[in-house]
Amino acid sequence: MKFVAKVHIISVTSKLFRFFFISLALPKVLSFGKPQINLVFRLLIRTFAAKLIIMEIKKAEFTLSAPMVSMCPKDTKPEYAFIGRSNVGKSSLINMLTNNKKLAKTSATPGKTLLINHFIINNEWYLVDLPGYGFAKRSKKEVAKLEQMIQGYILQREQLVNLFVLVDVRLEAQKIDLEFIEWLGQSSVPFAIVFTKADKLSATKVTQNVEAYKKVLLETWEELPPIFITSAEKKQGRDEVLDYIEDINKTLVSNQ
Ligand code: GDP
């Protein structure tokens, strides 16, 4: 299977060029060859450049909760959805990304979000909180209804440009996640994998687990999807995920 990068032609070179130009070349030009001034300039401008490059969340507002795809917002803005097994840390991640502790409900009760929740970010794009899958303690009928809702959204929502699949970094690759990922591949849905709760392990163990996960994926996939390592607790991975979204948004605007 091949990872589908439908709209994701990321402008890495232009980004690197911008970063190096702003943080290296510009201070040199402005300091007229004086090394001390150059160093101060470089530090100041590097901080400024990082801010320029990484997306700022200026506004994050709840829009609506929909029980089915046909009731989602009538809007054409790009959507980035988040999904994972109950308790994977989805609400915490959404709150961390948006810098808003109350945006998505964080709770220890698994599977509480049972609707498709839309949040409008910076009036530019939607963050979509999908119900968690792997619903323990639910009736067959309820599970079928939720699966239908999730599948309907993922397959029919044209505005969906990327699905973030959340995986707890502490666990071995779970059958239910691998099956879901395989289904995404078969359905040509662009996705990225987000490992959560990285603060719960040592950095070495995180790397080992992620490498082991990649190995499992490569048994079925020719290429790996984009992978992010995050911790809501330590705000790790925030810039990387937002940067990725920003890149896709820019590609979409320039393709219009
Ligand atoms: P959801 O059911 O997927 O929305 O998961 P929640 O965001 O409600 O998180 C489930 C539990 O994991 C809660 O007790 C969170 O406090 C905890 N949790 C989530 N993310 C992190 C993280 O990055 N680090 C740590 N240490 N705990 C986390």
Instruction: Please give the backbone phi and psi of residue 6, each rounded to the nearest 5 degrees, phi first.
Output: -55, -55
First to last CA, the chain: 29
pTM of the shown model: 0.83
pLDDT category of residue 122 using cuts at 50, 70 and 90: very high
Handedness of CA 110, 211, 180, 194 (dihedral sign): positive
Q: Classify residue 29 by burial, with Cβ atoms within 10 Å: 0-12, 13-18, 19+.
A: exposed
Determine the distance separating the centroid of ligand 1 and the alpha carbon of 235, expressed in angstroms. Answer: 12
Ligand 1 within 6 A of CB of 91: yes
- By most ligand atoms within 8 Å of CB, the mutation choice from 83, 86, 87, 195 for ligand 1 is 87
Q: Classify residue 227 by burial, with Cβ atoms within 10 Å: 0-12, 13-18, 19+.
A: middle
Q: Do residues 235 and 3 lie in contact, with contact meaning Cβ atoms separated by under 8 Å?
A: no
Determine the distance separating the centroid of ligand 1 and the alpha carbon of 217, expressed in angstroms. Answer: 24
What's the rounded Cα separation, in Å, for the pair 255 and 250? Answer: 8
Ligand 1 within 6 A of CB of 90: yes
Q: Which amino acid is at 168?
A: D
Average pLDDT, the chain: 85
Ligand 1 atom having least distance to the Cα of 132: 3
Residue 51: its pLDDT value, please? 54
In this structure, the strands spanning 160-168 and 116-121 are unpaired
Determine the distance separating the centroid of ligand 1 and the alpha carbon of 152, expressed in angstroms. Answer: 26
Give how far the C-alpha of residue 138 lies from the chain's centroid of Cα atoms, to the nearest Å. Answer: 27
Q: Classify residue 60 by burial, with Cβ atoms within 10 Å: 0-12, 13-18, 19+.
A: middle
Give how far the C-alpha of residue 71 lies from the chain's centroid of Cα atoms, to the nearest Å. Answer: 23
Can you read off the two tokens belonging to residue 151?
A: 């599948």
Handedness of CA 110, 115, 121, 124 (dihedral sign): positive
Ligand 1 within 6 A of CB of 200: yes
Ligand 1 within 6 A of CB of 197: yes
pLDDT in tens, 129-185: 999 887 667 788 888 888 999 999 999 999 999 999 999 999 999 999 999 999 999
Determine the distance separating the centroid of ligand 1 and the alpha carbon of 6, expressed in angstroms. Answer: 31
Determine the distance separating the centroid of ligand 1 and the alpha carbon of 93, expressed in angstroms. Answer: 8
Angle (deg, nearest 10), helices 203-217 and 175-186: 50
Q: How much of the chain exceeds pLDDT 90, in percent?
A: 64
Ligand 1 within 6 A of CB of 111: no
pLDDT in tens, 16-46: 555 555 556 665 666 666 666 666 766 676 6
Can you read off the two tokens belonging to residue 175?
A: 């059958």
> Under DSSP, is residue 64 helix (H, G, I), strand (E, B) or coil?
strand
Determine which of 7-11, 83-87, 200-204 has the lowest per-residue pLDDT on average.
7-11
How many other C-beta atoms can be found within 10 angstroms of the C-beta atom of residue 235? 13
What's the rounded Cα separation, in Å, for the pair 155 and 151? Answer: 6
